[in-house]
Amino acid sequence: MNLMNDYLQLIRFDKPIGTFLLLWPTYWAMWLASNGAVQIYELSLFFFGTFIMRSAGCVINDFFDRKIDIHIERTKSRPLASGRIAPSRAFIFFLILMLIAATIAAMLGIEVFRFALIGACLTIIYPLCKRFLRAPQAVLGLAFAWGVPMAYVYYHGFVPFEGWVLYLVTFFWIVAYDTAYALVDIEDDLKVGVNSTAILFGKYANITMMALMVLFLLGLSYVGYLNELEHFYYALIAIASIFLIYLQNQFAQKKRSAYFKSFKAHGYYGAFILFSIILAI
């Protein structure tokens, strides 16, 4: 039973926020690409695919970071860092998860499967990017937003212009919220020599995150225009901009707890954007 709990902890089963942050943009794209004609089984396949890939991402991240995590307060008790799960067993578990994800992708069609291979590569290289890339969150943004082009490929067989626009818009959002997440660990990251946008942006981190969120909202408005959404969609986006005030208040505190709280709030924010798209499609 304890071993099962360790594996559940390894895939962050008790922290579903990561799955939803990965899922919401995929669902935005599904509704837009299908013009609202989304089927339950399609939602289910993309949901399970998202859950499995997020789980695999957590495992491979902890596999590569196990010697770093022991020096970071927030991560030192993770199963791999603490030695409760052997690296070899974790890697086998990762391969099993990837096999399941590949099966789900194949069920969605050969073109989706091909795009899924790119997403898998991005998932694997992200943890390594923290060693040599000053902005690893950029790679995470590319990986976490990859469900967007996959959804368009599923419905159209290719990614149209508006699909790539949504992908870019989602990228801005991901870099913004993961910079807030990185600010939670910035002191430990500096000690162990791990890169992040929190370190790169430095004293400009707060204003950069706000700028990215403004680009995100402006981009969502353009997405609405490209997809000819109902006019009240823009009113909902305007309401969504109130979230920036909340973020600014959290950032102004410059506390780890406030940054983490703002990060978690993005899970609800993504759901609100989905709600707006569904109503306006």
Structural domain boundaries in the chain: 2-280
pLDDT for 3: 87
pTM here is 0.96
Position 276 confidence tier, pLDDT thresholds 50, 70, 90: very high
The gap between the terminal CA atoms of the chain, to the nearest Å, is 46
| Residues 5-17: tens digit of each pLDDT | 999 999 999 999 9
Q: What is the mean pLDDT of residues 204-224?
A: 97
Percent of the chain with pLDDT over 90: 94
Its sign, for the CA torsion 88, 4, 81, 193, is positive
pLDDT for 38: 98
Residue 116 has pLDDT above 90, yes or no: yes
| Residues 181-207: tens digit of each pLDDT | 999 999 999 998 999 999 999 999 999
Q: Which CATH number fits domain 2-280: 3.40.50.450, 2.40.10.10, 1.10.10.60, 1.10.357.140?
A: 1.10.357.140
Residue 60 has pLDDT above 90, yes or no: yes
- For residue 232 the two structure tokens come to 């009240």
Residue 1 has pLDDT above 90, yes or no: no
Considering the chain, what is the average pLDDT of its residues? 96
The conformation of residue 268, written as its DSSP 8-state character, comes to H
pLDDT for 20: 98
Percent of the chain with pLDDT over 70: 100
For 36-63, b/e burial (b = at least 16 CB within 10 A) is eebeeebeebbeebbbbbbbbbbbbbbb
pLDDT for 113: 98
Instruction: Compute the distance between CA of residue 29 and CA of residue 113 in angstroms, rounded to an integer.
Output: 17
Instruction: Compute the distance between CA of residue 45 and CA of residue 89 in angstroms, rounded to an integer.
Output: 27
Position 2 confidence tier, pLDDT thresholds 50, 70, 90: confident
Residue 97 has pLDDT above 80, yes or no: yes
pLDDT for 71: 87
Helix (H) or strand (E) holding 204: none
pLDDT for 73: 84
Position 132 confidence tier, pLDDT thresholds 50, 70, 90: very high
Among all chains, which residue has been given the structure tokens 């500096």? 190
Instruction: Compute the distance between CA of residue 23 and CA of residue 21 in angstroms, rounded to an integer.
Output: 6
Position 222 confidence tier, pLDDT thresholds 50, 70, 90: very high
